[in-house]
Amino acid sequence: MLLGRWANFDQLEEELSMDELIAILDASREREQRQNRFAAALKGVKLEEDSAEERFNQVRIRAEARRRKLPEDQVVFEKIGIKLEEE
CA-to-CA dists, residue 33 to 26, 27, 44, 72, 77, angstroms = 11, 10, 16, 26, 31
Is the pLDDT at 1 greater than 50? The verdict is: no
Domain tally, the chain: 2
As a whole number, mean pLDDT of residues 67-81 equals: 85
As a whole number, mean pLDDT of residues 24-45 equals: 85
Is the pLDDT at 80 greater than 50? The verdict is: yes
In a domain, 84, yes or no: yes
In a domain, 1, yes or no: no
Same domain, 15 and 41: yes
Residue (of 36, 18, 15) closest to 26 by Cα position: 18
As a whole number, mean pLDDT of residues 46-53 equals: 70
Is the pLDDT at 2 greater than 60? The verdict is: no
Residue-range definition of the domain harbouring residue 26 = 7-48
Dihedral (C-alpha) 44, 38, 35, 47: value to the nearest 10 degrees?
-50
Residue type, 83: K
Same domain, 29 and 43: yes
